[in-house]
Amino acid sequence: MTKALMIQGTSSGAGKTTLVTALCRIFSNSGYKVAPFKSQNMSSYSYKGDEFEISRAQAIQAIAARAEINPNMNPILLKPLGNYNSEVFVKGKFYKKMHAKEYYKKFVLQKGLKTATESLDWLQKNHDLIIIEGAGSPAEFNLVKYDIANMRMAEHSNAPVILISDIDKGGSFASIVGTLELLEKKYQKFIKGFVINKFRGDMDILRPSFYKLRQKTGKPVLGTIPLMKFDIPDEDSLSANPKQVIWNKKFVQCLDEEIENLSHIVKSSLNMKAIGALIK
């Protein structure tokens, strides 16, 4: 059976997209046939392929994985229109305009969930390893009933989950413990460890906290990624001035170099032996 590894975050902006991008390249460099996957993404910025349209982030992750960009990598794209309305794309094709209430009540747990699992199954049949990206936080009480981007995907693919948290914002350890404790018991077992992101301090001061976190949760910290600058376009929902791109040969070449540099930094920051063991 094709393996899967999932990255979830304690919040939006924790670093899920960046970590998935880096892991796609790291495992591709190790000889795996890799593909990224995010079941549902809300973004104004998309990649337009041959008669399909998906989130720009998953297209970039496909480049990181050295995989052909495919609509199954982002089977549901929501392009916001304002006033809680969005254009909904299903497997790369425009489906309809929907208000959030209609989306949650009539679409997401019916056609949405079926579409997402079908796409994930297709990717698993055609690749060695799928790196799955969650959305937002998996522990939002107001959304968890309709959440098809986090634990439902981990459960469907039996994927171990790494939880990433942004320490630069503060409250990182509280958000990790809180996220874990708010999850349903059946989902807590999927989380295998944590990654601390955007660290810019003294590791000697930070490191003792890992022992306390393991005492509290029974799960290890799998790495600490430093705060760094890189020239990979942000997702627009988190950036006041998202980078506009033109998908040409020059852009892809520059992007590939940035991804390679990012992957080296992330690889050196993570316990890749422990992470590799999760997918064996």
pLDDT digits 0-9 by tens, 188-244 = 999 999 999 999 989 999 999 999 999 999 999 999 999 998 888 876 555 455 567
The domain made up of 3-278 is a member of CATH 3.40.50.300: yes
* Residue 71 confidence (pLDDT): 98
Q: Which amino acid is at 75?
A: P
* 85-90 vs 46-48, strand pairing mode: unpaired
Query: Euclidean distance between the first and final Cα of the chain, in Å?
Result: 11
Cα radius of gyration rounded to whole Å, the chain = 18
Given a cut of 70, is residue 74 above it in pLDDT? yes
The model's confidence at residue 1, banded by pLDDT at 50, 70 and 90, is: low
* Residue 158 confidence (pLDDT): 96
Q: Which amino acid is at 228?
A: M
Output the pTM of the full model: 0.95
Instruction: Give the integer Cα–Cα distance in Å for 87 and 81.
Output: 7
Instruction: Give the integer Cα–Cα distance in Å for 29 and 196.
Output: 23
Instruction: Write out pLDDT tens, residues 105-133.
Output: 999 999 999 999 999 999 999 999 999 99
Query: Could you tell me the two tokens for 171?
Result: 């409250």
* Residue 145 confidence (pLDDT): 93
Mean pLDDT of 237-263: 81
Instruction: Map out the domains of the chain as residue ranges.
Output: 3-278
Given a cut of 80, is residue 75 above it in pLDDT? yes
Instruction: Give the integer Cα–Cα distance in Å for 158 and 43.
Output: 27
Instruction: Give the integer Cα–Cα distance in Å for 248 and 139.
Output: 39
Instruction: Write out pLDDT tens, residues 3-21.
Output: 999 999 999 999 999 999 9
Instruction: Write out pLDDT tens, residues 151-186.
Output: 999 999 999 999 999 999 999 999 999 999 999 999
* Residue 247 confidence (pLDDT): 85
* Residue 236 confidence (pLDDT): 57
Query: Smallest Cα–Cα separation from 7: which of 169, 222, 164?
Result: 164
* Residue 243 confidence (pLDDT): 63
Q: What is the DSSP annotation of the chain? A: --EEEEEEESSTTSSHHHHHHHHHHHHHHTT--EEEE-SEEE-S-EEE-SS-EEEHHHHHHHHHHT----GGGSSEEEEEEETTEEEEEETTEEEEEEEHHHIIIIIIIIIIHHHHHHHHHHHHHH-SEEEEE--S-TT-TTTGGG--SSHHHHHHHT--EEEEEEGGGS-HHHHHHHHHHHS-HHHHTTEEEEEEEEE-S-HHHHHHHHHHHHHHHS--EEEEEEP----SPPPGGG-SSPPP---SHHHHHHHHHHHHHHHHHHHHHB-HHHHHHHT-
Q: Which amino acid is at 178?
A: G
* Residue 241 confidence (pLDDT): 56
* Residue 242 confidence (pLDDT): 58
